[in-house]
Amino acid sequence: MNSPPIFTPKVREQTGVASRRICVLVLGMHRSGTSALTRVLSIAGARLPSTLLGANESNETGHWESQALLRCHDRLLARLRSDWEDWRPLEIGRLPASERKEIKAEIADLLRLEFGGAGLFVLKDPRICRFTDLYLETLADADIAVRIVHAVRNPLEVAQSLHRRNGTLRADAMLQWLRHVLDSEAATRAHERVVVAFGALVSDWRGVFDRITSGLDLAWPYSAEEISGQVEAFLDAKRFHHRHTTEELLLDPGVGRWVEQAYSALLVLTRSPRSKTAMAALDAVRAEFDRVAPVLFQFRAEWRDDAGRQRAALRSLLDDANAGLKQAAAAAGQDRQEIASLGGALAYERALHKEAWEAAAQDAQGARQRIAGLRGELAAANARADRSEAEIAERDRPLAEVKSALAVSQAAAQEQMSRASDLDAALQQNVVSLVVQRSTGDPSGTCAHPNV
């Protein structure tokens, strides 16, 4: 993700020497615009720490706070068995004097390393809201004047932003917001301070800048006119999300009475930083919150433990299900491989069958063509045979006539032969009779056949 350009004004030589160094301490809940406000003040000439926590996905325009001090603050919270998400009262007053002195010395050393001898510097980390008293003491011990700027943002916007960044539940985010704003506001009443709304900074940064300048009696190295181009490029409204109105907060049934009262009182302080009515309302909310916070926190811890056990059980079931899915996926993979193999074999068989079918089709087509040729040849042969038979019949007609005549001749010849045979028999008889007559002396000489 591309980060916006970092504008660094040129160092301006200061003609006078300030009687005291000044720390502009920016206080506010996480995701409340403290980073944007700190950057605007740094463009005006307040020095930033040396080890900056830069831009990342959760803050595209940069955090503008000290990495070294952030680590120190986390160690301090851990020493007090807390962290930045804890919304119980921080019992820093119970620290032994020696331990308190040791912590303040570590902070003082880091301030020197981060800001050197800068006459005007800006310090910011939302964690400081939890132990503002300790910081005010440390700065006073170092003879550094403190000017306080409280950054306030609609709790609905803070909750949405925290949920987007950390997955924080809305109820937790609201209680964290309460703890940060209540403790830091109460700790700074004796100091010069200004309360500004984040929405006003984005929509009218010049008005907010003028209020800070006049309210804290500050002389900036660079005027609003000189820094306007840089600030307006930095405060691009498109970069800021989760916009909600005060009416939406007050009408939201999921927002508790404490949050509504505290936010309303802080909005009054943006117009009147010393409003006794607003501070009394904040005191009342803080007293009730401090009284029940440990019980609520214990209930929340038990609920989280129970939810954690349930999540662990569900995670175990999910792991088992995932293992089963992996096994099924592996088996499915093997099945897919087998199917792919069978598919390849089937495709090969289909190709072979296709080739055989195409060859058979070609053979059948050839056979049909040959049969058609043979049928044509047969038809031609039959035609020739018919013509031959007709020709033979035509040629055989005279022969038949000859045969018929021959038959007639044969019949006539047969008749002649029959007559000849009869004559021959009669002749023989006559011869016999003659012989008999001669042998007997018959003088008549009579013949047996009348034609003899």
Q: For residues 3 and 332, which has the higher predicted lDDT (pLDDT)?
A: 332
- What distance in Å separates the CA atoms of residue 234 and residue 201, rounded to the nearest whole number? 12
Q: Which pLDDT value is given to residue 4?
A: 39
Q: Which helix (H) or strand (E) holds 26?
A: strand 21-27
- What distance in Å separates the CA atoms of residue 86 and residue 151, rounded to the nearest whole number? 20
Q: For residues 406 and 37, which has the higher predicted lDDT (pLDDT)?
A: 37
CB-based contacts of 269, cutoff 8 Å, min separation 6:
150, 185, 195, 275, 278, 279
CA 300, 306, 308, 310 torsion: positive or negative?
negative
With CA atoms as reference, report the closest residue to 60 among 5, 120, 142: 5
Assess if residue 408 is contained within a domain: no
Assess if residue 367 is contained within a domain: no
- Judge whether residue 251 has pLDDT over 50: yes
CA 59, 62, 66, 67 torsion: positive or negative?
positive
Assess if residue 329 is contained within a domain: no
Q: Give the pLDDT band of residue 294 (cuts 50, 70, 90).
A: confident
Token pair, residue 240, equals: 């800021």
- What distance in Å separates the CA atoms of residue 19 and residue 248, rounded to the nearest whole number? 47
Q: Among the listed ranges 18-22, 29-33, 55-59, 250-254, which one has the minimum average pLDDT value?
A: 55-59
**182 within 8 A of 282, measured Cβ to Cβ:** yes
- Structural domains of the chain, count: 1
Assess if residue 153 is contained within a domain: yes
Assess if residue 59 is contained within a domain: yes
The CATH number covering residue 50 comes to 3.40.50
> Residues 177-190: pLDDT tens digits?
999 999 999 999 99
> Residues 148-199: pLDDT tens digits?
999 999 999 999 998 888 888 899 999 999 999 999 999 999 999 999 999 9
Assess if residue 192 is contained within a domain: yes
> Residues 104-140: pLDDT tens digits?
999 999 999 999 999 999 999 999 999 999 999 999 9
**Boundaries of domain holding 64:** 21-274
**67 within 8 A of 53, measured Cβ to Cβ:** yes
- Judge whether residue 444 has pLDDT over 70: no
Mean pLDDT value of segment 352-361 = 80
Assess if residue 370 is contained within a domain: no
Q: For residues 116 and 357, which has the higher predicted lDDT (pLDDT)?
A: 116
Token pair, residue 30, equals: 């996480």
> Residues 371-384: pLDDT tens digits?
888 888 888 878 88
Assess if residue 211 is contained within a domain: yes
One-letter-per-residue 3-state SS of 147-206: EEEEEECCHHHHHHHHHHHHCCCHHHHHHHHHHHHHHHHHHCCCCCEEEEEHHHHHHCHH
CA dihedral 304, 310, 311, 312 (to 10 degrees): 110
Token pair, residue 437, equals: 């007559």
CB-based contacts of 87, cutoff 8 Å, min separation 6:
172, 175, 176, 178, 179, 293, 297
**430 within 8 A of 443, measured Cβ to Cβ:** no
- Judge whether residue 341 has pLDDT over 90: no
- What distance in Å separates the CA atoms of residue 346 and residue 98, rounded to the nearest whole number? 86
